[in-house]
Every structure is written in structure tokens, then in C-alpha cells.
Amino acid sequence: MADLYTLTEQAIAGLGVELIDVERAALGLLRITIDKEGGVNIEDCEQVSRLLSRVYEVENIDYKRLEVGSPGVDRPLRHLADFQRFAGEKIEVKLHTPIDNRKVFNGILSLKEGQANVFNLTFEEKKNETKVIEFAYEDVDKAKLDPVLDFKGKKK
């Protein structure tokens, strides 16, 4: 049997959604995270849940409860295509190797021209002092979107 991530990815391939994560949690919970351009809605989650329930039954995947949801505003970036898709967005990235004695950076992601797997991250080092680091996709330990949320409703 293929691993659970691959099985799930293949099962939902025709539904127009992207598999972000498969996580086994306590008490038999199997959490599936999906996304698509423009975001997922409840109907997408319902459709994926119904399909996976049948697939997992046929494949004898053991779980007690299946949960399908969206990645939320702090969506993890796991694949090279995620970094390319979210260029121009604010992200938090943790690198395997430190740059200037730091591994974690928050800033605006941009593509390095002419290189598909190299990126720049622009961030404020000190007040009014902008800095840019360059890193390759292979250098990334973890990354996620880091949106600026405005709960006061003020227009900027």
C-alpha cells in the first residue's frame, strides 16, 4: 500500500483541490488539509470527506474520525510551487542554516529572477532599515504565510 499522503493525493486529484497536509492526531483523528486557488468552501470539504471515507474503507486505513478543512490564514508552504504561487506575500520562514546568526525571518517573499528554486525575502531589520536575504528552496526547514490581520477594520 502506498503511504497515506500519496494515497490521499491520488484520490482527490480530480476534485480540483490541492492536498496540503495529512495528519494523524490523538484519539484516531485523521486531519486532511486542502486548498485551491481562491480558497476552499464547505462544499469542497464535504466532497473530499465523502470520497476519502470510501477510499480509506477500501484501503483499510484505520481512523475513528475524519476531519477535512482549509489551511487557514497561516497556510504552510511545503512545495516549491507554494513558494512560487505566494511570491509577493508576507511569510515566516525557518532555515536549516543560520544567516547572520538567525534562522527565522518574517518578510515579503519574491522570486529570484532566472532561478526557479531561489527566493529573496525582504524584511525590516531595524526601524526604517530594510534588508534582503537570499535562500534556496532546499534551505527551508519550515515556512508559512504570515498575513497582517487588521481586526479594527481601518482602511490603510
Per residue in 82-91, is it b (16+ CB within 10 Å) or e — as a string? Answer: bbeebeeebb
C-alpha cell at 153: 477594520
Question: Phi/psi at 8 (nearest 5 deg)?
Answer: -65, -45
Query: Which element (helix H / strand E) includes 120?
Result: strand 118-126
* Residue with the larger pLDDT of the pair 115 and 86: 86
pLDDT digits (tens, 9 = 90+) for 116-131: 889 999 998 888 889 9
DSSP code at position 76: B
CA proximity to 90, closest of 78, 102, 73: 73
Tell me what pLDDT residue 50 has. 98
What pLDDT band is residue 1 in, cutting at 50, 70 and 90? very low
pLDDT at 153 over 90: no
Query: Which element (helix H / strand E) includes 84?
Result: helix 80-85
* Residue with the larger pLDDT of the pair 27 and 115: 27
Structural domains of the chain, with CATH: 4-69 (3.30.300.70), 80-145 (2.30.30.100)
Query: Which element (helix H / strand E) includes 8?
Result: helix 4-11
Listed in sequence order, the residues at least 6 apart from 150 whose beta carbon sits closer than 8 Å to its beta carbon are 156
CB atoms within 10 A of CB 51: 16
